Amino acid sequence: MKNILLVFSFLTLIQLGFSQTRDTIIVNGDTVVVLRDALTPADSLRQIGDLKGAIESFKNAYEIEGTNFNELYNYACALSLDDQIDSAFKYLLIAATKDTSPFMLCDPDLLNLRKDNRWGDFETNLIAAIQKKYNHRYKDIEYAKKLWYMHVTDQAYYDCIFLAEDKIGKGSIVVKALWKIKESLNLENQKELERLIDKKGWPKNSQVGKEAAQSAFLVIQHSDAEKQKKYLPTIEKLCKDKEADWESYALMYDRVQISDNKPQKFGSQIRFNPQTSKYELFPLLDESKVEQWRQEVGLGSLAKYVAQWDIKFEPNKK
């Protein structure tokens, strides 16, 4: 789905071809791809955890006036999450006739559909349409497929965890258990990705497409500092070769800095202070230069970014 408001960012805004804008954010060290702002009543219901209400709202809108790609796709996502597999496929296929979007291949809301035999045909047909539309975008389709699946499992269940945190508190035993389950999924992804990298190398944009290449970054971003340090030079080199995104490099660079108890350069790392119950920036290398450094790697204004968490950033001028 495309409308969950969460925390932290490292990328500027990535347009999906959907009605909303997707951000990559960090929540207490976890990188999460999310969309900003609910646009419809159904989206709003989904955000507060009323999935049944969201599905009914989507259904009513469809029956009264029909829907565009965004609403159809979100409807399919909601049905998938509710395990209404037949209906989810029905509306997903209709949505796919209206827009050919590679992000359908790595959307965690469609994880339940991947367990159905029909997913294989859907994926094959969508890839063929994307290849035709973008002149053979994917050179290594099998590698891309594995990375898309990693993306799905990497991003799955975050909305459930944050909803649980909101409803029953971050320190509850339920939330702690959910995080442990999520961490075990992340560990499986990390092991599989390292096996693939050893065999094929770090995925390049021209090899598997930007979405799949970004999946590798997300997985390593959720690993330990040792792995992040291991792959950071590789990502930097690929950025210089225009085979990776500088935004990804900036985020991982800051993560490595923080893990070494050093100040961050790009201001991508935010933490929750339980004593003040407020979010705050990790220390910055140079407040007077951070906006310039962010601009150089394609990041938006730090002041505007942190304002989402009621953080007021006013750099000291040197």
pLDDT averaged per 10 residues, the chain (length 318): 34 30 48 54 90 94 83 94 97 92 93 96 95 89 96 94 91 94 95 96 95 94 93 96 94 95 95 89 95 94 92 78
Contact predicate 266/294, CB 8 Å: yes
DSSP SS3 for 50? coil
Judgement on whether residues 177 and 218 belong to the same structural domain of the protein = yes
Long-range pairs for 63-71 at CB < 8 Å and ≥24 separation?
Answer: 68/19, 68/98, 69/18, 69/95, 69/98, 69/99, 70/2, 70/18, 70/19, 70/20, 70/39, 71/40, 71/42
Do 77 and 143 fall within a single domain? Answer: no
Please check whether residue 273 lies inside any domain of the structure.
no
- The verdict on residue 198 lying in a domain is yes
- Residues 162 and 121 occupy one common structural domain: no
Specify whether the CB–CB gap between 120 and 141 falls below 8 A: no
Is 218:33 a contact under the CB 8 Å cutoff? yes
d(CA 92, CA 74): 9
- Beta-strand ranges (E) seen in the chain are 14-15, 21-27, 30-35, 270-273, 278-281
Residues 85 and 61 in one domain: yes
Are 49 and 104 in a shared domain? yes
User: Does some domain include residue 197?
Assistant: yes
Alpha carbon distance 142, 90 (integer Å):
26
Residue 272 within any structural domain of the chain: no
CB 254 within 8 A of CB 225: no
One domain, residues 96 and 146? no
174 and 130 in one domain? Answer: no
SS3 call for 123: helix
What DSSP letter does each residue of 167-206 carry, written as one string?
HH-TTSHHHHHHHHHHHHHHHHHHHHHHHHHHHH-SPPHH
> Quick check: is 239 in a domain?
no
The structure tokens listed for 34 are 């999310």
Look at residues 137, 158, 175 and tell me which one is the last residue of a structural domain: 137
Tokens of residue 49, six digits: 């955890």
Residue 287 lies in a domain: no
Residues 115, 126: one domain?
yes
Check residue 275 and report its DSSP letter.
T
CATH of the domain at 58: 1.25.40
Sign of the C-alpha dihedral computed for residues 95, 101, 102 and 106 taken in this order: negative
Q: Who contacts 242 (Cβ-Cβ below 8 Å, separation ≥6)?
A: 205
Instruction: Answer whether 290's CB lies under 8 Å from 265's CB.
Output: yes
pLDDT in the model for residue 140:
96
Residues 54 and 112 in one domain: yes
Q: What secondary structure letter does DSSP report for 82?
A: T
Residues 159 and 96 in one domain: no
Domain edge (last residue) among 137, 156, 184: 137
So what's the pLDDT on residue 317?
64
Residue type, 78: A
Last residue of a domain, one of 116, 137, 158: 137
Query: Both 93 and 159 in a single domain?
Result: no
Residue 245 lies in a domain: no
Domain membership flag for residue 274: no
Q: Cα 130 to the chain's mean position, in Å?
A: 21
Q: CA 249 to CA 217: how far, in whole Å?
A: 9
Distance of CA 275 to the CA centre of its chain: 29
> Which domain covers residue 119, as residue numbers?
38-137
Report the distance separating Cα 53 and Cα 49, nearest Å.
9
The total number of structural domains that make up the chain:
2
